[in-house]
Chains A and B, each alone.
Chain A
Amino acid sequence: MKWVLWTLLMMSVSGALLFYVWGKVDVVRVGYELDALLKKKAALTQEHERLQARFSQLTAPERIASEASDTLGMRPPGARQVVLVPSHPEERIPNDEPAPLRLARQTGD
């Protein structure tokens, strides 16, 4: 009986130790995986920033204007070639409504 108890105790202690070591090893393994994912994320972020910068360069007004005039032969429209269409027709009819409230405040200087 005594031996059985001892054996059970030893097995429990060994099991607990193994569980502890397994946990530790797994934390380290997950840590490696996490680190690899973080590096991947950093690389993708870096790529995103690089593409964003490139997009910004390509859509710069100076480049668009030069492409439009040099490559496509476009030029700014004349004074009467642009027709502005109101999104709300009623806005075009003059009325006597008071001016909208000013979004400003006195600074006191």
Chain B
Amino acid sequence: MFGFVILFLRFGYLQVLQAETMKLKARQQHEKPITLASNRGAIVDRQGKPLALNLDVSSVYATPSSIDDPAGVARQLARTLGVSRESLEKRLRVKRDFVWIQRKIGDAQFKRLNDLALPGVDVVVESRRFYPKGTLLAHVLGFAGIDSQGLEGLENGYDKHLRGQVRQVVLQQDALGRIIIPENRRNPQPLSGHAISLTIDEVIQYIAEEALDQAVRATKARGGAVLVMAPKTGEMLAWALRPTFNPNHIPQASPEQWRNRGVTDPYEPGSTLKVVLAAAALESNRVAPDTLLYAGDGEVPINGTVIHDHEKAGWLTFREAVQRSSNVAFVKMSWDLGKERVYQFLRTFGFGEKTGIDLPGESIGILRQPDQWSQRTLPSLAIGQEIAVTPLQLLTAVSAIANEGWLMKPFLVREISDQQGRSVWEHVPHIRRRPISAETAKTVTGLLVNVVERGTGKRAAVPGYRVAGKTGTAQKVDPETGTYSSTKFVGSFVGFVPAEDSQIAILVVIDEPQGPAWGGVVAAPVFRKVAEQTLRYLSVAPGDEPRMAASRSRTAPDGYQPNWE
């Protein structure tokens, strides 16, 4: 009887007086709080080929309270993981139940660590961003941080779409630590991030990067850029920049390498800007292709300085002035247009404002208001100086000429889809405005075809296609003296093809090439290489092919005869 009383009292003590404490102890034993993190959405190219995906990797953590010999464990960990022993020992001596030792280790390290079986040291599986193509499209993709947060490029710009859900849950476990009832029986798993599909084509991107690499190597240039756009929609098909980096190895890269110069770094475009000036003059009816301009003795004095041509030209038609890229003729034409009109055209072609592309950190370039211009500014603008444009601004402006005068908004993401592959958002091409008429665009295109067929851009010609384009060779400003350098140049070429029905517009910029720096020498061949391979890849028939097919159609019952006969 006495025993029952004792038992009853003990029972009452535990169940009533100690109820809360006991409940807490029990909960600590059979409940296991964990963080469920879902995967970041994948990034794929326009053909669905993966450019960024996730891999499960192991992260090492320790429970310092259960480690008796922090120094010994730190020594073994340091050897295995290649981390400083002192910093590890310091972490293992803190009075906490959880400390990270190293996040996202490699398979070999994991195997060595597993063999050691150190007390109080364990691993947890985390998701790591992986870029299977390495450096391909690195500047556009950007990269994600250790906690899978977007830090640069599209990873940063589309972070809210790509980022998966994170949820804290409490699981029930038995005495052996096994989960009794899996969490997802009652609650759904956190949702993965959305996948984004780019306008970029992996193959065209490779063509552009390969051609740029060869050019930068051959000219010993400081860097370069090749951007490819579909002028009718504003879709970016390729975006190659040098120097580059591997987003899988960010600690070995520097901001100088991962900065997206295509949108962040304005440069003086030189003669490539004459495309816009020519369009402005034609749209304003100040000139026609056959209008005669006097290019004098190959030089024109400007406010105490002189602007030169490469050779004396005398009288030139406007067509010839564009073909020869005559500085003198364009300076005189800019005086005729006047500064307000030149400024307005530059603005309507998108200079001095963002293009609106879906990338973070875009620069507006440098285009001063006319009331801030000196006497030299207008003639300088005529030859592409005293203005700084981003490569994307220039390509977008020239694409407007290829697109019957319509200025499009460039974009990189064409679709966002959910975990089941259902489209949740689709990009519709956007027209920004129309700086010039279709007639003017056609006339300018004719002038640019002439540049490639007879002028400075001959090396950009692609056999079988009509190419329209313009070369540019700009002196760089020496940061030490503040004047134009006589040794540092930017050679460039911008154009589109086929001229009569443009499928691609390409800008090539070679920064500080050693030796000859003319755009027609260093950049035009890159244009040709990229255009030739891309047109073939896109199955764009050469200009003479349709005529061949039509002329042979008489022998075929269905009106078609293969053109290899």
Chain A residues close to B by CB (< 8 Å): 27-28, 31-32, 34-35, 38, 46, 49-50, 52-53, 56-57, 59-62, 65, 76-77, 79-80, 82-86, 89-90, 92-94, 102-107, 109
**What is the bound-complex CA distance between A53 and B134, given in angstroms?**
11
Q: Give Cα distance in the complex from A67 to B560, angstroms.
A: 37
- For residue B182, CB closer than 8 A to chain A, the reply is yes
| A61 CB contacts on chain B under 8 angstroms | 136, 202-203, 205-206
Distance of A75 Cα from B233 Cα, bound (Å): 32
B124 at the interface (CB under 8 A from A): no
- What's the nearest-Cβ distance from chain A to residue B497, in Å? 14
Contact with A along B50-74 (1 / 0, CB 8 A): 1001111000000000000000000
Residue of A with least CB distance to B552? A92
Near A by CB (< 8 A), chain B positions 425-442 give 428-433
Is B408's CB within 8 Å of the partner chain A?
yes
Cβ contact within 8 Å between A52 and B53: yes
- B181 near A28 with CB under 8 A, answer yes
Q: B564 contacts the other chain (Cβ, under 8 Å)?
A: yes
A-B complex: 9 closest residue pairs judged by Cβ atoms:
A89-B560, A61-B206, A56-B132, A31-B181, A92-B549, A79-B463, A104-B429, A35-B179, A46-B56
How far does the alpha carbon of A92 sit from the alpha carbon of B547 in the complex, in Å? 8
Chain B interface residue bracket vs A:
35 or more
CA distance A22 to B389 in the complex (A): 76
How close is A28's CB to chain B, nearest CB, in angstroms? 5
B464 proximal to A (CB < 8 A): yes
Given contacts A60-B136, A61-B203, A109-B432, contact A28 B180 (CB under 8 A): yes
Name the distance in Å between B432's Cβ and chain A's nearest Cβ: 6
Q: Using Cβ atoms and an 8 Å threshold, which residues of chain A touch B178?
A: 32, 35
Nearest CB on A from B419, distance (A): 13
If A35-B178, A83-B563 touch, does A56 touch B133 (CB 8 Å cutoff)?
Answer: yes
* Given A84-B539, A103-B429, A104-B408, A53 and B132 contact (CB-CB distance below 8 Å): yes
Q: Which residues of B lie under 8 Å from residue A84 when comparing CB positions?
A: 539, 541-542, 545
Contact of B560 among A28, A52, A53, A86 (CB under 8 A): A86
Q: Which of B49, B181, B232 contacts A59 (CB 8 A)?
A: B49
Cβ B550 vs Cβ A93 within 8 A: yes
**Known contacts A61-B203, A92-B550; is A76 also within 8 Å of B533 by CB?**
yes
Q: Is the CB of A35 within 8 A of B182?
A: yes
CA distance A77 to B464 in the complex (A): 14
A31 and B179 contacting across the interface, CB-CB below 8 Å: yes
The answer to whether B133 and A60 have CB atoms under 8 Å apart is yes
Note all chain B residues with C-beta closer than 8 A to A57: 132-133
Whether B559 pairs with A49 at a CB distance below 8 angstroms is no
A35 to B542, CA, bound (A): 61
8 Å CB contact of B432 from A50, A59, A89, A107: A107
